[in-house]
Every structure is written in C-alpha cells, then in structure tokens.
A and B are shown apart, each in its own frame.
Chain A
Amino acid sequence: MSAALPPAAAAPQGNGLTELLGGLLPDGLPFWALALTGAVVSFAIIFAFIAVLAMFATWLERKVAGHIQVRYGPMRTGAWHGWAQALADGVKLLIKEDLVLTSADKPLFKLAPMVVLSTALAAFVALPFGPNAIVADLDLGIYFIIAISSITTFGVIMAGWGSNNKWSLYGAMREAAQVASYEIPLGLSLMMPVMYFGSLSLNHAGAMQSGWYGMHWYVFSDAFWIAIPSFALFFTAALAETKRAPFDLPESESELVAGFHTEYSGIRFAFFFMEEYAAMYLMSAVGTALWFGAWNFPGLSLLEGTVLHAPLAVAAFVTKSLLLVFVMMWVRWTVPRIRIDQVMALGYKYLTPLCLLMILLAASWEWVKAIAFGA
C-alpha cells in the first residue's frame, strides 16, 4: 500500500443505524429486540429506496430510449415530462388481476418473484451509501453481494420451470447458462480493486478513497492503468449478470415473448421488474464504491463533522451510481442483442482470460510498489 492511503484502522466502524436506534430505544432492552427493530427499519428504508429507484429508473429508461431515438418518450402523465408515468404504471400493475395458470406449478410460480426480489433486497444490506450509512458493515461485503445476487438465478429458473411454457423455460435456461458463465469474470474483475484496497469490505474501500481531498478514487490512483480496463471488464460482466442488453437473452422479447416472465402479470411481474432495476443499481453501486470513490467527491472532507457531511456523502454515492445506471441504459439503446453462442464466447474466451491477465498485472503492480516504496 502506498503511503498516501489512510491506514485500515481509520475506516469507519459499526452501523450508524443501530447506534442511532440504541440511543433512541430505552436501556435494558434485550439484544434481539434491538436487532429486530434495526432489521425492520433497515428493510423499510431499503424497500422504499428500491421502490422509488425503480420508478425513477423506468421513467429515466423511457426518456433515454426516447431521446436516443430522437423522440420525447412519456410526456403527458403528470405535468412535467411525464414524471408520473411510472406511478401510473405501478398503480396499474397493483390493481391488475393476479393470474396463475391452471397448468403452472403453483408453489414454484408464486415463490419465484419473491425469491428474485428478496435476493436483490438482501444484497443492498452490504452497500455503503455513506461513511456510516450501511446496514451491515460486513468484512466480506463484496463476497456477500456476489453470492446473494447469484441466487437470483434460482428464482428465474423457478419462474421459467413453474410457468410450464416453452418460452419461459428457454429464457430460464439461457439465464442459467449466462449467469453461471458470467459469475466467473464478474468475481475475477472485482479482485483488482480488492487487491488494491486489501479488503473485501465496501465500506473500507470507500474510506480508502477519501484521500487527496476526496479525489483519490481507484480510477485516478497509481493503478489507473489497471483500474480502467478492469472496470470495463466488470461493467460488461455486470451487464450480463443483470440481464441487460446486449445480454438480455433471458428476456429477448423478439424471440421468447418475454422470456422467463412471459406468464407473469400484475404485481408478480412488477416484482421481476423491480428486481431488474434493483440489480442494475446494485451493480452500479458496487462499481461506484470500488472504482469511482464511493461517497467521496472533492471538498467533502472539508465538511467533516458538520450536519451536511452525511447527506452530501449519500447524495454523491446515489448520484454516481445513477450515472452508471444511465450508462447501462445508454449501452442498451446502442448495442444490439448478441447471439447465445456469442454470449458464451465473450464470457469464456474473452472476459475470463482477460480478467486473469488483469489480476496478474494488478498483483505484479502491488509487488513492484512494495519493492520500490516499501510495504
């Protein structure tokens, strides 16, 4: 590690929320009551955040799609540029009839959207929105996120199998093949920042990037020549992992109707929809936390100790993540969907070997630094 980085001990420890609750609730309360209250409050905050985010992101997606195609997108719902379109869509999905096919495998069919959404919700637990704004500051935060987000695949396979529909099953099988292959480059591409920061904790990574008045991001560090290609590899794998175009083969509406959620409507469909946007945000947030300085921006350190520090840090993190979400949308409306064999070739022949090469380079660079500047 170079001398410019703060020591690991300087990373903020603990969870602001549990400390806050511990102060608010009366003393002498058993630990399980405190933990339960903390869990319920965290769930409410995360769920509200994801719901608002999904609404904003659907509106943004349609606006980006529209303007890239030189049209407006939604304009009439709500007074300003169709801002209430997502709200109207949400209400429509809520009041639609809850259809379950008679030929469907009912327990699987009903369980699948819940599995898919709850895994997306669970992954948000380890996201650091600010220096202390993290539900659970896990030492293995990155590992936890990768592990829990791969469970989404089970939900998708359950949906595809339970629907008893050939299109759904095709979509689910493609999802399984695609996610299983892209887990490898996704996990490997995260190893470059992990090696640089020497930690799997996202909170720690954020704290490590607070130097240089908030500009010591991984992409601007001495290892920028590793950071930039590794981010490209991570972003490509993340697109495939979140089933976004050009890797939207599990859905591919031109061939498979709607892929694994062909038979879903109403609120169950809304769950899949929310999961897609939650997963997009999750991947963007991981990218932000590791490559783009998490909550740090120039001048933030000057506000340390003031009331503004925490809200501005959270706002910076959410803004940076939403910018990456915008890039995902931008890619979707630029690059056409690729064939399944091309998806497999890209995953196994290109991303995985290139990730291994980058790991070799990153490890060598850490070794060179250790020899040249002393560990």
Chain B
Amino acid sequence: MATLQEPAAPASDRSYWGNVWHAVKSTAVGMGITFRYLWTKPFTTQYPDERLPVDGRYRGIHYLEQDLCIYCQACAKACPVDCIDMGAQRHGKELEWEFFSIDYQKCMFCELCVYPCPKDCIHMGEQYSLVTEDKSDFLLELTSWQGLTEEQKLRIAEAEAAKAAKKAAAAKAKAAKEAAEAAAEPAEPEEGKE
C-alpha cells in the first residue's frame, strides 16, 4: 500500500540552525540525484539517424504488393479524397503496369483503401516522414516495376503458345474430322446415285 509522506515542516517551525542544515542537506541530496542522472544513458534518440520502432497498427505511407494486385480499382473507389490513381494494360490474365500513384498532399492516412481490396495487396506502411522542398515529390509511385516483367512475358508467351497449340490441335482435329467426313461423303452420293 502506498504510504503518504509526511510533509516537510514549514520554515517557521525550524530553528535558525535547522534552516541552515535543511538548506545544506536538501542541496546535497538534490545534487547527488542530478549527478547520478548526469551519467545515465540519455533516453532520447538521434531522430533522423535512428528512429523508434512504430506500432504494427501504425498508418504510414502505403506499400503495394504489385504482383498480387488485379487492377480492380476498389481502393481508388473507396478513397474519400480521390488520391489513388492507377493505369495498366491487360494482356489476357497478365497486367502491363503503367503507374499506381498516391498523392500524399491529399492522403489523410484513413486506411479506407486497405479494407475493400479483394487480394489484400495494399497496406499501410511504417514510413512516416515525407520531408521535401518540392510539392511534386508528394506524388509517390507505389509500383516497383512498370511494363511487363520477364516472367510475365514468359507466361504470356507460354499462354500464347498454348493457345496456338490448342488452336493448331483444334484445326488439326477439325481437319481430321473434315477429312473423315470427306472420306465418308463420297459413299453417300454413290449410294444416292445408285
């Protein structure tokens, strides 16, 4: 249980020598405390060089998992200040990214863009300081690549090859079918002729 401390006796209750002793003692005790603190490690961090870790729920500058994104515009539609803009070309199932930008002059870090994402690919990050001398630096590009990656190109080529092969197979099957039909056909007229 916390105990209440006896309040120090008011000055009038002390004798002359009591006052002298009190002044000397309290100064000595105080200086002892400050001397101890003088050698403790400072509590502060040197901000731009070292930063304190931020909480997991912190809403900092977004980061985008670009390979998961399906260009559905759900985040852009959810944004109350219309700061998200994106552009891409579709090549079948693959996306050729042009840009995915957030204007941090407008963004208020409300996290409303994160919830509607069907692929859970946009997140609030831990970065919090955007210090710049130029306003245009606030328009941040979140994509880590533009255009098509080699993998995507490979997949597109594979898909096209598969498609071509399928087409060829279909054409072949069709040709075979036609050939079979053509082979069967002459019999019929013969029968008809007869």
Contact = CB atoms under 8 A, between A and B. Distances in A.
Interface in B14-36: 19-20, 23-24, 27, 30-31, 33-35
Contacts of B42: 66-67, 70-72
Contact of A70 (B23, B35, B40): B40
A62 to B, nearest CB: 13
Nearest to A229: B24
B12 interface: no
Contacts of A334: 27, 30-31, 33-34
B46 A75 contact: yes
Interface in A330-345: 330-331, 333-335
Contact of A72 (B33, B37, B38, B46): B46
Contacts of B27: 331, 334-335
Among B27, B33, B38, B41, max chain A CB count under 10 A is at B38
B35 A330 contact: yes
A285 interface: no
A70 B44 CA distance: 8
A225 interface: no
Contacts of A68: 34, 37-38
Nearest to A69: B37
The DSSP consensus for interface residues of chain B is helix
Nearest to B41: A70
A280 interface: no
A330 B46 CA distance: 24
Nearest to B32: A334
Contacts of B38: 64, 67-68, 330
Given A70-B42, A71-B42, A72-B42, A333 B20 contact: no
Contacts of B23: 350
A11 interface: no
Interface in A296-344: 330-331, 333-335
Given A64-B38, A334-B30, A350 B46 contact: no
Given A70-B43, A71-B44, A72-B44, A330 B34 contact: yes
A330 B41 CA distance: 17
A354 B43 contact: no
A359 to B, nearest CB: 17
A64 B35 CA distance: 10
Nearest to B40: A70
A70 B20 contact: no
Nearest to A76: B46
A330 B24 CA distance: 15
Contacts of B31: 330-331, 334
Contact of B19 (A232, A330, A350): A350
Contacts of A75: 46
Contacts of B34: 68, 330, 333-334
Contacts of A333: 34
Given A70-B43, A350-B19, A350-B20, A335 B30 contact: yes
Interface in A53-77: 64, 66-72, 75
Interface string B119-131: 0000000000000
B43 A71 contact: yes
B131 to A, nearest CB: 15
Nearest to B39: A67
B81 to A, nearest CB: 36
A356 to B, nearest CB: 14
Given A330-B31, A334-B27, 9 more contacts: A64-B38, A67-B37, A67-B38, A70-B43, A71-B43, A72-B44, A333-B34, A335-B30, A354-B20
Interface of A: 64, 66-72, 75, 232, 330-331, 333-335, 350, 354
16 contacts: A69-B37, A70-B41, A70-B43, A70-B44, A71-B42, A71-B43, A72-B42, A72-B44, A330-B34, A331-B27, A331-B31, A334-B27, A334-B30, A334-B31, A335-B27, A354-B20
- 7 shortest A-B CB distances, which residue pairs? A334-B34, A71-B44, A334-B30, A70-B43, A68-B34, A72-B42, A334-B31
